[in-house]
């Protein structure tokens, strides 16, 4: 486990983070030395419950990440936490090539029903390769490449996502330790490497439906995720449903 590059003054309320971070600049987290700071906090009532939205600026690429916070999380331990990577096609447009929207909604429903919890909405579209390249990868998949080979053909690793920014965001929020909602050991390991205490793992559970049952089964067998073959857990966002035959075709 590495040591956090800087310590963060504890504040009483989320809105106090804006003033605390006004001049924040640290050496950054991870190989890319990402530093984020809180720039705005507001209420965000949602269909999944009442949240506060915490907006972060980052020094690396100007991407605007947000945390959705439910309940009191400052200084709290075992805070249920979900890391969600942006997926425009799934989250907003309802694409069936992936299950990101189901994962997002399930996470927000669960967090909204708990005493406290955090969802980090991370702007790393398409497993980190960006929207345009994700669409390019879809096109290659339609020519017969699988999802891994499609990414490699475009010059990317299978998964370009980096959770250093997520670690910094959790540290900035002052979360004591997290109960991470994930089936992906990579997320746990990366957060720990950046000094976040992962006290517990919460399986990300959702009842399978007729559309994704076969996919879930296949991924449980093929992936390294924590997913018992018969358990109704979602796979991680990182795997486009390229193996599913849409429309029964």
Q: Which residues are catalytic?
A: 159, 161
Mask 120-159, x = binds Zn ion (CB under 5 A)?
----------------------------------------
Number of residues that bind Zn ion (CB under 5 A): 6
CB of 170 to Zn ion, least distance (A): 12
List 120's β-bridge partners, or say none.
67, 83
Interactions with Zn ion, residue window 65-104 (CB under 5 A): 87, 90, 98, 100
CA distance 19 to 125: 30
CB of 2 to Zn ion, least distance (A): 14
Interactions with Zn ion, residue window 180-209 (CB under 5 A): none
41 or 98: whose CB is closer to Zn ion?
98
CB of 45 to Zn ion, least distance (A): 25
DSSP characters for the chain? -PPPSS-----SSTTHHHHHTTT---S-BTTTTB-EEEEEEEEEEETTEEEEEEEEEETTT--EEEEEEES--BT-SSEEEEEEE--IIIIIT--SSS-HHHHHHHHHHHHHHSSSEEEEEE--GGGGT-HHHHHHHHHHHHTT--HHHHHHHTT--S-----HHHHHHHHHHTBS-EEEE-S-HHHHHHHHHTT--EEEEE--B----TTTHHHHHHHHHHS-SS--TTS-BPPPTTS--TTS-GGG-
29 or 48: whose CB is closer to Zn ion?
29
* Residue 241 sits in the site that holds Zn ion (CB under 5 A): no
CB of 12 to Zn ion, least distance (A): 21
71 or 196: whose CB is closer to Zn ion?
196
71 or 103: whose CB is closer to Zn ion?
103
Interactions with Zn ion, residue window 7-66 (CB under 5 A): 26, 35
CB of 221 to Zn ion, least distance (A): 21
Q: Which residues bind Zn ion (CB under 5 A)?
A: 26, 35, 87, 90, 98, 100
């Amino acid at each position: 486990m590495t040591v956090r590059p800087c310590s963060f003054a504890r504040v009483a309320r989320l809105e106090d983070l804006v003033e605390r971070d006004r001049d924040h600049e640290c050496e950054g987290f991870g190989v890319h030395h990402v530093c984020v700071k809180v720039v705005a906090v507001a209420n965000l009532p949602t269909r999944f419950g009442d949240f506060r939205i915490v907006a972060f600026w980052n020094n690396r690429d100007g991407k605007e990440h947000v945390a959705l916070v439910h309940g009191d999380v400052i200084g709290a331990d075992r805070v249920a936490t979900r890391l969600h990577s942006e997926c425009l096609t799934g989250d907003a447009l309802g694409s069936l090539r992936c299950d990101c929207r189901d994962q997002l909604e399930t996470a927000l429903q669960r967090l909204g029903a708990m005493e406290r919890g955090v969802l980090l909405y991370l702007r790393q579209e398409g497993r980190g390769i960006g929207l345009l390249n994700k669409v390019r990868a879809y096109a290659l998949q339609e020519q017969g490449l699988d999802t891994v080979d499609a990414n490699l053909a475009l010059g990317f690793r299978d998964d370009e996502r980096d959770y250093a920014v997520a670690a910094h965001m959790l540290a900035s929020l002052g979360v004591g330790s997290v109960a991470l909602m994930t089936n992906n050991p990579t997320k746990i390991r990366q957060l720990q490497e950046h000094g976040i205490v992962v006290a517990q793992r919460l399986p990300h559970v959702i009842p399978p439906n007729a559309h994704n049952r076969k996919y879930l089964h296949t991924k449980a067998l093929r992936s390294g995720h924590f997913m018992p073959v018969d358990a109704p857990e979602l796979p991680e966002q990182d795997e486009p449903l390229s193996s599913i035959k849409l429309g029964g075709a």
